[in-house]
Amino acid sequence: MAFGAAGALTVSVLLGTGSGAFGTATQCTVGSGARALVAGDADGDGTTDLAAVGNGRSWCP
């Protein structure tokens, strides 16, 4: 699950644990405000990637 609050500087990402629960949130900085999130296989490696659009540039491991 991934979400950001309107005007927030971060997007929170919670990975599933496999037991119907989510793990601890990882916060990724997206500049001066998250505007949109999209999930898909952007690099063709067969795993889902998450992209966040904000008013800045950053990287989240």
Which tokens sit at 15? 């990975």
pTM of the model: 0.65
The pLDDT, as a whole number, for residue 57 is: 60
Which tokens sit at 59? 């990287």
- Per-residue pLDDT tens digits for 3-52: 877 677 788 889 999 999 999 998 887 776 667 788 899 899 999 888 87
CB count, 10 Å around CB of 34? Answer: 24
